[in-house]
Amino acid sequence: MAIKKGDKVKIHYTGKFKNGDVFDSSEGKAPLEFEAGKGMVIKGLDEEIIDMKIGDKKTIEVPPEKAYGQRQNNLLAEVPRDKLPKNLDIKKGMMLTFQNEKGVPFTAKIVDFDDNSLKLDLNHPLAGKTLVFDIEVVGKK
C-alpha cells in the first residue's frame, strides 16, 4: 500500500552532500519515524516519501529551498564576549548552543572573534546546500 499524507512511516536514510560526503545516517540505529506530509522532516524528503511503499528505495536530491533554505546574511550576529562563560576556550568554527526567549535551543557557529566580541553565524549548518538522500521505507502504520 502506497504512503499517503498522514501515514506514520519508518525509513532508513543516509544524507550526503553532492560530493558524496555523508553528514547523517540512520545506519546502525533505529529508523527515522515521522508522519508523512506533516512537515516533521525537511520538505524535499516529506514530498518524496508520498506514494512510496514498504521496501522501496530511492535516491533523491533536495535543493536548499526544500531543505534548510538559502544562507541569510541577516543571520550573522555580534555578541559581547562578557555574555559568555569566562572559561570558554573560543575557536573559529566552534559551534555554540544558546536558548531563545522561549527556551528553545539553537546553535551558532563562531566565524570570528576578538577580545571584546564574537561574530556568530546563526544559519543552519546545512543552509545553502543541496542535499542527497538514499532512503528506504521500512515501515508504515
pLDDT digits (tens, 9 = 90+) for 38-66: 999 999 999 999 999 999 999 999 999 99
Virtual torsion, Cα 10, 125, 19, 21, nearest 10 deg? -60
Q: Which three cell numbers stand for residue 123?
A: 544559519
Q: In the CATH scheme, what is the code of domain 73-121?
A: 2.40.10.330
Report the distance separating Cα 124 and Cα 108, nearest Å: 8
Give the residue range(s) of CATH 2.40.10.330 domains in the chain: 73-121
Q: Which three cell numbers stand for residue 54?
A: 514498504
Instruction: Provide the total of helices (H) and of strands (E) in the chain, helices listed first.
Output: 1, 9
- 83-135 pLDDT, tens digit per residue, is 888 888 999 999 999 888 898 898 999 999 999 999 999 999 999 999 999 99
Give the residue range(s) of CATH 3.10.50.40 domains in the chain: 8-69+126-140
Secondary structure of residue 69 in the 3-state scheme = coil
Report the distance separating Cα 125 and Cα 60, nearest Å: 20
Predicted local distance difference test score (pLDDT) of residue 85: 86
Q: In the CATH scheme, what is the code of domain 8-69+126-140?
A: 3.10.50.40
Query: Above 90 in pLDDT, residue 72?
Result: yes
Predicted local distance difference test score (pLDDT) of residue 87: 86
Query: Above 90 in pLDDT, residue 37?
Result: yes
